Amino acid sequence: MATPATFLNPAREAQGLDDRAADAYEKGHDADVPSDQVDTSSHLDIEKGVPSAASTNSDEMTLGGDPRTETEQDPDIVDWDGPDDPENPLNWPDSKKWTLIGILGMVTLVTPLASSFFAPGVPQVMATFGVTSNILAGLVVSIYILGFAIGPLIIAPMSEMYGRFTTYNVCNVFFVIFTVACALSNSMGMLIAFRILAGMAGAAPLTIGGGTIADIFPQEQRAGAMAIWSMGPLLGPVLGPVAGGFLVKAKGWRWVFWIIAIFAGFFAICLYLFGRETYHPTLLARKTKRLQKETGNMNLRSKLDSGLPPREIFARSIVRPIKMLIFSPIVLLMSVYVSINYGIMYLFFTTMTFVFEDTYHFSSSSVGLAYLGMGVGLILGMGYVGKMSDVYVRKAQASGGAKPENRLELPLTIPGAILLPIGIFIYGWTTDKGVHWIVPIIGTALVGLGNLTGMMTIQTYLVDAFTVHAASAIAANTVLRSIFGAFLPLAGLDMFDALGLGWGNSLLGFIALALIPVPLFFRFRGESIRTNPKFQVAL
């Protein structure tokens, strides 16, 4: 994972991961090396980052010494046939690489799109099934995000055991099946159940997409591919309600799911036909089996074979992030901060349809346009942090060395945290008093801007602060964030009914205000906590 002096790609910033962080996470380890360069034949615990005596470079953390040297010394170790081996995904033709990235980018757009595409149709669903519960109205939208919390815990170890290509294809098939089941649902309970299952299956491109890019592009060539891949999770939840509003008006809420299923099915077929396995350990394992069959030498083993049984791989992938979330104060507090802000954003996603239809009499088709303010704020936040983060850390390094806390010193980080509650207050009281609709939409833009600046800087702070275990810290953050995104919105409509739009949103604003000291505290005291042995987590 990145050392404090490592710079992040702007495109990667949108997901809060640097190239090596995502590379390590998606390849099933947290070590500061890509999986195609790690020698795991010695069966050392990569997660603990323990170098052998032959490895003295703590920055590279190359376990067991130089893999090429070991390969030359042990003829039973199977490696690539030199640096130009055409079977190595890094050596694929550019046309093959970009075809895969283009298709993967579309798959990654469809699944986040499904999280909010359905939001404008909630009133129709409630009328169809005769439901009046505000909790169910919020749950039917936000439960999909809970799938994003559960899915990665299963998908990540599955991709490590069976490869990325197989995992993509299986998850794509299940996503289409569960989405069709949503369209055919005959009760609210059935719809909610299949929504969470669709979310779990749809988490695949978000979970392992960054790893696919790291598989086929060297680090210095990943920015363009990362930009294509990261736009889906950013724009999907915003574009969903805009398009969904017109579709619900014209065809009804069931067609939202039919359209998602059609697009998901089309891109799933494209990925199956034109995609290929890219995961280096899986490819070398296949090569090893082929050579064992051809030569009869059953002692052959892949250079990237961890030697761990599948049950242990699966268990480690699930347990490690939870341990960090519980026992590390940095991970816990930062994750709570990001999760509450993320939950507030999804509370807006689930309630804005009702607010703008009831208060401003937007039609079911035009109500989706109200979400554009949030989208503008998110895009501005991504552009600012993506551009300035590298610049600011380089300056810090030039002036005496960068450290993780430099990520929290970006000029807009603390102001962004302040803009979030300001935007909530503006949105709440202007909708409460019926002020022209453009004003609350501007308020939601501030909510989006403040939310993203805080989320991105904290994500990159966790990457820099935890180096070897950064991927687990990010996974812990993602799981908690998705849980808040799924359940916090459930209180939205009932809260507004009880307190009104003004005081209901003010309550959220006060919570956001109370959390401002979290990034401020770690900006000044994070280093002392991070280096204190009492706060180290045994993994």
Model pLDDT, residue 180:
96
Do 334 and 477 contact (CB within 8 A), yes or no? yes
Task: Provide the b/e sequence for 93-122 (b: ≥16 CB within 10 Å).
Answer: eeeebbbbbebbbbbbbbbbbbbbbbbbbb
In terms of pLDDT, which residue wins out, 507 or 453? Answer: 507
Quick one: DSSP state of residue 407?
Answer: G
* Domains of the chain, each with CATH number or no CATH: 1-30+328-539 (1.20.1250.20), 95-279 (1.20.1250.20)
Q: Count other C-beta atoms under 10 Å from residue 20's C-beta.
A: 24
In terms of pLDDT, which residue wins out, 266 or 205? Answer: 266
Q: How far apart are CA 409 and CA 430, in angstroms?
A: 32
Residue 64 has pLDDT above 70, yes or no: no
Q: How far apart are CA 519 and CA 137, in angstroms?
A: 33
Report residue 16's pLDDT band, with 50, 70 and 90 as the boundaries: very low
Q: How far apart are CA 413 and CA 13, in angstroms?
A: 14
Residue 302 forms beta bridges with which residues? 78
Residue 6 has pLDDT above 70, yes or no: no
Do 249 and 378 contact (CB within 8 A), yes or no? no
3-state secondary structure of 78: strand
The mean per-residue pLDDT over the stretch 454-469 comes to: 67
3-state secondary structure of 470: helix
Q: How far apart are CA 53 and CA 103, in angstroms?
A: 44
Helical axes 438-466 vs 470-487, angle rounded to 10°: 150
Q: Count other C-beta atoms under 10 Å from residue 293's C-beta.
A: 10
Model pLDDT, residue 444:
92
Q: Which residue has the tokens 């990665």?
A: 152
Residue 534 has pLDDT above 50, yes or no: yes
Model pLDDT, residue 32:
32
Report residue 201's pLDDT band, with 50, 70 and 90 as the boundaries: very high
Q: Residue ranges of the alpha helices (H) in 117-133?
A: 122-129
Model pLDDT, residue 382:
73
Do 242 and 374 contact (CB within 8 A), yes or no? no
Residue 301 forms beta bridges with which residues? 77
Residue 58 has pLDDT above 60, yes or no: no
The helix (run of H) or strand (run of E) holding residue 80 is none
Report residue 519's pLDDT band, with 50, 70 and 90 as the boundaries: confident
Q: How far apart are CA 439 and CA 394, in angstroms?
A: 38
Report residue 430's pLDDT band, with 50, 70 and 90 as the boundaries: very high
Do 122 and 493 contact (CB within 8 A), yes or no? no
Residue 35 has pLDDT above 50, yes or no: no
Report residue 331's pLDDT band, with 50, 70 and 90 as the boundaries: confident
Report residue 333's pLDDT band, with 50, 70 and 90 as the boundaries: confident
Q: How far apart are CA 371 and CA 79, in angstroms?
A: 51
Structure tokens at 157: 């170890």
- Residue 426, exposed/middle/buried by CB under 10 A (0-12, 13-18, 19+)? buried
Q: Which residue has the tokens 């598989």?
A: 215
In terms of pLDDT, which residue wins out, 376 or 309? Answer: 376
Q: Which residue has the tokens 């060297």?
A: 218
Specify which of 7-11, 34-38, 222-226 reaches the highest per-range mean pLDDT: 222-226
pLDDT in tens, 241-260: 777 878 888 888 899 999 99
Model pLDDT, residue 200:
93
Mapped to the 3 state alphabet, what secondary structure does 475-515 carry?
A: HHHHHHHHHHHHHHHHHHHHHHHHHHHHHHHHHHHHHHHHH
Q: pLDDT averaged over the chain?
A: 76
pLDDT in tens, 173-198: 999 999 999 999 999 999 999 999 99
Helical axes 188-202 vs 134-162, angle rounded to 10°: 30
Model pLDDT, residue 467:
56
Structure tokens at 270: 């494209």
The helix (run of H) or strand (run of E) holding residue 302 is strand 301-302
The mean per-residue pLDDT over the stretch 405-432 comes to: 80
The mean per-residue pLDDT over the stretch 406-424 comes to: 75
Phi/psi-derived region of residue 362, left when phi > 0, alpha when psi is between -120 and 50, beta in every other case: beta
Q: Which residue has the tokens 């953390």?
A: 61
Report residue 7's pLDDT band, with 50, 70 and 90 as the boundaries: very low
224-233, 403-412, 505-514: range with lowest mean pLDDT: 403-412
